[in-house]
Structure 1
Amino acid sequence: MTDGTFTSILKPSRRSFMKGVGGAMTAALAMPYIARAQAAPLYINTWGGPWEDAARANLFDPFTKETGIEIRTLSPVSFAKLAQQVNTGTYEFDITTLGGGELVRANQAGIIETLEEPYPGGLFENGIASHAFATVMAWRSDKFEKGPQSWAEFWDVERFPGARSMQRYAARVLPIALLADGVAVKDLYPLDIDRAFASLDRIKDHIRVWWTAGAQSTQILRDGEVDLIGIWHGRFYEAQKAGAPVAMSWNQARSTAPIGWWPRERQMPRPPKPSSSSPPAASRSPASPRRPTMARSIRPLSNSCRRKTPGACRPHRKTIPRPSNRT
């Protein structure tokens, strides 16, 4: 995939993006399996919190009004659960939301459906672009009058001493580590993995928490458990609205802002409505044949990869090439 193609996918025009997202909800979600049972609710796996509030107001409720199909949500987003559902044939949700890295992984494993492009630049690896968000630098304003204005400054523990927190998610943390080490945005990809981990080695002793959920990041910033944090902008505003003395910077945030994608799982049966007489989910008969081969290509993390420090899970390759479109 050329740089131009990559840019057009990640940065569609404002007009095409806003028009396309609305159409994507109807075109991608109202597929044949929905048409067969329009009275049944549609289950969507989301990140929850302020993200879900915004999605419900701007996507879910308008979709329900137009189609009459109720949307029910489950959170948090879990790639492991997505793979498990296709493997076992027992489903909890129909649609999920993935970041770009996990979307590529899901498409390569064959566990999501093939979709058509709803608008120019709106389809990537069989996921429909729906939104964008940013990882921003935030800090306690009762600790620093003016916080770091770049990731290099965020890494400067002498100028900005204190406990830090970052997301335990390599696809977002590694580019940040390279920015902190002086790599220009235009030179980030392919990622220099060794250099990124060397950059993380400089700061890992100052990372008190590797957060794994958006609500957790809000809480540790709001409660003062950490002084500085790399946090999703929506979760920052949540802490700010709660009255916490916090501040943030948008500098270098766009370079770490992924697009969110709507992929649809392969062979999606409709989950039955829960009732007191319904048997446990594990004992329900799947509506489609089991597909154990789908998830076999997804290797579970080794024990070393589950350690608190991300440097414990080093890939063997020095660089990760930019993913290309599948044809």
Structure 2
Amino acid sequence: MTATGKGFSTLLAPNRRTFLKASGAALTTTLAMPYITRAQENVLYINTWGGPWEEAAKAHLFDPFTAETGIQIRTVSPVSFAKLAQQVQTGTYEFDITTLGGGELIRADQAGIIEDIAEAPYEGGLFHNGVASHAFATVIAYRTDKFPNGGPQNWAEFWDVERFPGSRCLQRYPARVLPLALLADGVAVEDLYPLDIDRAFASLDKIKDHILVWWTAGAQSTQILRDGEVDLIGIWHGRYFEALDAGAPVGMTWNQGQIDRAYWVVAKDTPNAENAKKFIEFATSAKPLAGFVTQADYGPLNPAANEFISAEDAKRMPTSPENYPLTFEQDIENFGADIEEVAQRFEEWIAS
């Protein structure tokens, strides 16, 4: 989480395409005009992940919010931190609202590119001016045709290429992969943070030659697992269930699943801030959130949503009472190093 990169369908208003052709002062003037018009039209633009994520959001968040308030929702994909920063700096807004993971949220708040939110819509729901929406987990999944007696049940076993031989796949995302490497090296969950970066890279060295693919998009990870391109994978839990529902011979464990939280934020200085905050309050309220996470295979972060989730559906959620104790949460605030520097080191390590 945070959330999941699902497939993209960018819906850009024609005036935005025109704006991109302008330059200099003319660009600024032209951009300002349709933005004012957009606000007057009572329309919110939301940055989304597209695909199944957007389908679930449309069914349970967007359309019901419009029905209740009359405020129209239009979407822009894919989710982009860089675009959030750029539009705040230029005053040229493609969207009013987006979701961020914990690391990106802290960066956005420190950079002053998101609106202040004075009060959480529910108790405990506010973090660095982001409202906690839903959670997803990176879990161990495997092909049951390769491991008919069961695959790895923890990251140390995932790293054990002798006991569990086969091709492997992990996400090309160091903030998620480094904690897994430390768990594989014997670090206890309660001792993970702050991360021992050097030890994590030393652990990654042990498995590097066995990583066939470093996946970069959620849809890619599903396809790799579903098609049998790899035998073992660290994958978002929703993407695992997507492969399972498609009939792939796959298994997984919640044990040592790594939970990410997704937060709704409002772009700084958007004239639609008031309506944007209304939407976030609606989207994190119990019943709409329950419908969204059930359809999209997430876990709700507003506890009140659990009242509207069946026991059967809860089995597929990392936040359920049965699954949550087996998992651990990222602690980005206590990461232990500069995330950007670590990301650069990680890319250099992959290329070496």
Same fold by TM (over 0.5)?
Answer: yes
The partner residue of 1:120 within 111, 114, 123 is 123
2: distance between equivalents of 1:311 and 1:138?
26
1: distance between equivalents of 2:189 and 2:346?
29
The partner residue of 2:106 within 104, 107, 128 is 104
User: Structure 1 residue 217 and structure 2 residue 221: aligned?
Assistant: yes
Contact 1:50–1:235 (Cα < 8 Å) also in 2: no
- Identical pairs, percent: 73
Q: Match for 2:203: what amino acid?
A: S
Please give the per-residue CA displacement for 1:5-46, whole angstroms capped at 9, x wherever unaligned. xxxxxxxxxxxxxxxxxxxxxxxxxxxx99x94744322222
Instruction: Give SS of 1:251's match.
Output: strand
Relative to structure 1, the CA distance from residue 152 to residue 48 in structure 2 (aligned partners, 3 Å threshold; closer, same or farther) is farther
Report the equivalent of 1:134.
137
Where is the strand percentage greater, Structure 1 or Structure 2? 2
Report the equivalent of 1:203.
207
1: distance between equivalents of 2:115 and 2:179?
29
Relative to structure 1, the CA distance from residue 166 to residue 308 in structure 2 (aligned partners, 3 Å threshold; closer, same or farther) is farther
**How far 1:65 moved relative to its partner?**
2.0
Relative to structure 1, the CA distance from residue 300 to residue 121 in structure 2 (aligned partners, 3 Å threshold; closer, same or farther) is closer
User: Structure 1 residue 80 and structure 2 residue 82: aligned?
Assistant: yes
The two structures have a TM-score, normalised by structure 1, of: 0.69
**How far 1:311 moved relative to its partner?**
8.4
Report the equivalent of 1:257.
259
**How far 1:236 moved relative to its partner?**
1.0
Q: Match for 2:72: what amino acid?
A: E
Relative to structure 1, the CA distance from residue 156 to residue 303 in structure 2 (aligned partners, 3 Å threshold; closer, same or farther) is closer
Q: Match for 1:64: what amino acid?
A: T
1: distance between equivalents of 2:343 and 2:105?
23
Instruction: Give SS of 1:116's match.
Output: coil
Report the equivalent of 1:151.
155
The equivalences for 1:260-279 within 5 A come to 260-268=262-270
User: Structure 1 residue 242 and structure 2 residue 223: aligned?
Assistant: no
Q: Match for 1:138: what amino acid?
A: A
The equivalences for 1:1-327 within 5 A come to 37=39, 39-118=41-120, 119-145=122-148, 146-253=150-257, 256-268=258-270, 307=347, 309-310=349-350
1: distance between equivalents of 2:343 and 2:250?
36
1: distance between equivalents of 2:173 and 2:84?
17
2: distance between equivalents of 1:38 and 1:262?
23
**How far 1:70 moved relative to its partner?**
2.2
Contact 1:208–1:226 (Cα < 8 Å) also in 2: yes
**How far 1:163 moved relative to its partner?**
1.6
Please give the per-residue CA displacement for 1:223-257, whole angstroms capped at 9, x wherever unaligned. 2221111111111111112222221111111xx11
Structure 1 window deviating more from structure 2 (221-230 vs 64-73): it is 64-73
Where is the helix percentage greater, Structure 1 or Structure 2? 2
Relative to structure 1, the CA distance from residue 311 to residue 181 in structure 2 (aligned partners, 3 Å threshold; closer, same or farther) is farther
**How far 1:92 moved relative to its partner?**
1.9
1: distance between equivalents of 2:348 and 2:220?
15
Q: Match for 1:257: what amino acid?
A: I
**How far 1:169 moved relative to its partner?**
1.5
Contact 2:174–2:342 (Cα < 8 Å) also in 1: no
Contact 1:51–1:234 (Cα < 8 Å) also in 2: no
CA RMSD of superposed structures (Å) = 2.8
Runs of 5+ in structure 2 lacking a partner? 1-34, 273-338
Question: Aligned residues, how many?
Answer: 250
**How far 1:122 moved relative to its partner?**
0.8
Contact 1:210–1:308 (Cα < 8 Å) also in 2: no
**How far 1:162 moved relative to its partner?**
1.6
Relative to structure 1, the CA distance from residue 300 to residue 194 in structure 2 (aligned partners, 3 Å threshold; closer, same or farther) is closer
Runs of 5+ in structure 1 lacking a partner? 1-32, 271-298, 313-327
Relative to structure 1, the CA distance from residue 301 to residue 67 in structure 2 (aligned partners, 3 Å threshold; closer, same or farther) is farther
